[in-house]
Amino acid sequence: MSDTHAQTARFVRESMLPEREPPLAEVGAVKWVRENLFSGWLNILLTVVSAVVIGWILLHIVPWFWNSVWKAGSLSQCREIRDEAFGPGASSACFAVITDRWHQLVFGFYPQTLYWRPVTALIVFLIAASPVLFPRLPRQALWFSAISPFIMFWLLWGGSVWAPLSVLLGIVLAYVAFRIASRFVSPVLAMLAGVAVAVLCWGLLAGPLTTDMSRILPIRLRAVGSDDFGGFMLSFIIGVSAIILSLPLGILLALGRQSDLFFINKVSVAFIELIRGVPLIVWLFTASLLLNYFLPPGTNFDLMLRVIIMVTLFSAAYIAEVVRGGLAALPKGQYEGADSLGLDYWQSMRLIILPQALKISIPGIVNTFIGLFKDTTLVVFIGLLDPIGLSNAIRASTDWNGVYFELFVFIGLMFFICCFSMSRYSIALEKKLQREHR
């Protein structure tokens, strides 16, 4: 016994072990299949049942797609073509409704001759969005992104160019006022001063400026009313505007909810809880019906604008909660590190806290955006012609009475493409930030 003990207790390594390759894992498709699908009776049973179910579904869907008709003027014509080609009663999709009503599904009732305007607006949007989404592009391009909303607004709604320009002027003046005021008073007061200047400018200056300048230099596009907007264009405009506007508002609300200032804190909490606690559809009805009672008579506040504001407020409340989660996840040391260096509140938020908190919140933020984008279809209930609304309108015509799945499949696919790209982008962004900050 004492011998073995001496053997085990005394040990001196004479040479260090060299590094070795890990053992090769056994690989191969057959092995994978056997391990994952056919290991044990229960798994074999489940595999067989699943295969049958999948086969049955495919058996019905594949011919439906395969036999689909893409060129026809009405549903009955579609049926005739099908009967001729595949025999009567064969399973066959009639996607001709989409080719036939393509323009309507995309542009709603926007004037045919002016289709170039939304298309140009889309191109402007894509150009403006790229420097924001891809930081490797030159930063100067952000200036174009900043003014692009005004270009897009003018292209879409038309009218005198001076209307969006005077709105832009208000914002520029507000910013100048903010910069000047922040030299003398606290940032919050300076911000209020900026807002006041903007409101004054829009209230007093914008109207006369637009009319006068339109007389002097009449640059205008044919005006198109919001009633004519529809289809994916409408969903896209509402969705994208709300996404862009709700992020900064949500961040401010999250900071407000964290704030030590009693008033700001309580207002943020009340706003978030109220907006979140009531279904979006109720807010949309509020936007479409109630607001008219509160606004001074005679003001015709565009319905689409009201909807955009409501959807923005709604998703801002959700964004605020997501960002609050990110803020709470940061260690207290980050706040103290920033404080101990003498950074003031806004500096430490902008440079230290928010970049990290937002990075944590990316999945939640994109989740909210995806939800928001799909929720734009709810505007059908207040009479706006989004794709779902249009599908109802299309079905109401005698030509296409009875077409259901084809339209929904198409609408679903379009939404899926948008939402899926958002999701992929967010994953790529997360990965990139993960790599950078390690």
Partner 1 sequence: MSDVAHEMQTSRAIDRSQMQVSDEVAIQITDMNKWFGQFHVLRDIDLTVYRGERIVICGPSGSGKSTLIRCINHLEEHQAGRIVVDGIELSNDLKNIDKIRSEVGMCFQHFNLFPHLTILENCTLAPIWVRKVPKREAEETAMHYLTKVKIPDQANKYPGQLSGGQQQRVAIARSLCMRPRIMLFDEPTSALDPEMIKEVLDTMIELAEEGMTMLCVTHEMGFARQVANRVIFMDQGQIVEQNEPEEFFGNPQSERTKLFLSQILGH
Which spans of this chain sit near partner 1 (rule: CB under 8 A)?
331, 333-334, 336-344, 347, 351-352, 355-356, 359, 436-438
For partner 1, the closer of residues 55 and 331 by Cβ is 331
Q: Which residues contact 264 (CB under 8 A, 6 or more apart)?
A: 256
Give the shortest CB-91-to-partner 1 separation in angstroms: 55
For partner 1, the closer of residues 10 and 139 by Cβ is 139
Which residues on adjacent β-strands are paired with residue 221? Answer: 159
Pairing of strands 159-160, 220-221: antiparallel
For partner 1, the closer of residues 285 and 345 by Cβ is 345
Give the shortest CB-186-to-partner 1 separation in angstroms: 8
Give the shortest CB-196-to-partner 1 separation in angstroms: 23
For partner 1, the closer of residues 359 and 374 by Cβ is 359
402-427 exposure pattern, b = at least 16 Cβ within 10 A, e = fewer: ebeebbeebbeebbeebbeebeeebe
* DSSP 3-state of 331: coil
Q: How far is CA 229 from CA 235, 410, 430, in A?
A: 10, 19, 35
For partner 1, the closer of residues 226 and 347 by Cβ is 347
For partner 1, the closer of residues 188 and 195 by Cβ is 188
Cα distance between residue 97 and residue 399, in whole Å: 9
Give the shortest CB-333-to-partner 1 separation in angstroms: 4
Cα distance between residue 138 and residue 428, in whole Å: 20
Cα distance between residue 150 and residue 208, in whole Å: 19
CA angle 423, 425, 426 (to 5 degrees): 65
Q: Which residues contact 100 (CB under 8 A, 6 or more apart)?
A: 72, 73, 399, 400
Give the shortest CB-135-to-partner 1 separation in angstroms: 13
Looking up tokens 């080609």 gives: 85
For partner 1, the closer of residues 18 and 333 by Cβ is 333
For partner 1, the closer of residues 221 and 362 by Cβ is 362
Tell me which residue of 151, 191, 189 sits closest to 175, measured CA to CA.
191
Cα distance between residue 294 and residue 65, in whole Å: 51
For partner 1, the closer of residues 14 and 436 by Cβ is 436
Cα distance between residue 400 and residue 77, in whole Å: 10
- CA 98, distance to chain mean position in Å, is 25
Task: Find out whether 124 and 148 touch, Cβ atoms under 8 Å.
Answer: yes
Q: Which residues contact 101 (CB under 8 A, 6 or more apart)?
A: 390, 394, 400
Give the shortest CB-321-to-partner 1 separation in angstroms: 22
Give the shortest CB-194-to-partner 1 separation in angstroms: 20
Burial of 365 (0-12, 13-18, 19+ CB in 10 A): buried
Give the shortest CB-270-to-partner 1 separation in angstroms: 26
For partner 1, the closer of residues 171 and 343 by Cβ is 343
Give the shortest CB-358-to-partner 1 separation in angstroms: 10
Other CB atoms within 10 A of residue 3 CB:
7
For partner 1, the closer of residues 40 and 135 by Cβ is 135
Give the shortest CB-262-to-partner 1 separation in angstroms: 15
Q: Which residues contact 276 (CB under 8 A, 6 or more apart)?
A: 317, 318, 321
